[in-house]
Structure 1
């Protein structure tokens, strides 16, 4: 119980610095949904990636345009309810109202361009995977 409370406090503190979002809510994991998301995430982020990216760009070529490209990839979910798996106990539900602010702040807070968003309707994952030379975007139905 104490671990759960500490985990919630950390998530709340983190999301105080996330910009471009509204209607923030912290939700306990529902085991079934969490398992399905985890399976798909392992296929995307595992050592032997089983899923090919929807799009991929070379970081050297795109340079400072990476945030704009990420925002374009997420344009279909602006204003819609999305989720982030915050930790082993909680999802964070929110709406993105400014894609550029959201991407800039979340990448700055995380220290990289990796990002996983869950969309409930239709059920899918939108993910960015950042490595040394490229950034890949995945859009996968669950």
Structure 2
């Protein structure tokens, strides 16, 4: 879409860590920024994907981006929950989903959340997988 930035995101889990990977591209597909974060592990993959989406919202906000399509890989349920509208989410991830709805859908009309398959999300997936291997809890952005 013309003038939109795409932010791809993914989360990865192992027993010791959670990794988050983010790749932000301009409308021509050129990488503008990327980030990966190693976090404390969570047990639920949906919670991990929700946290990855929240981290991506925070990064895009910090970068001052105005027109953003947030593309979540392996997170169809999270995308559906965020896009569900006014229904309050009472699930394990509900508080995060509700915060994302407030930050994205109600606060910014030029921000969208959509699902993308693994093939279209390889960069973010690779960063998330790499982040779980970091020795210390870190966040790396460029």
TM-score computed with the length of structure 1 as normaliser: 0.30
More helix by share: 1
Greater gyration radius: 1
The higher-RCO structure (CA 8 Å, 6+ apart) is 2
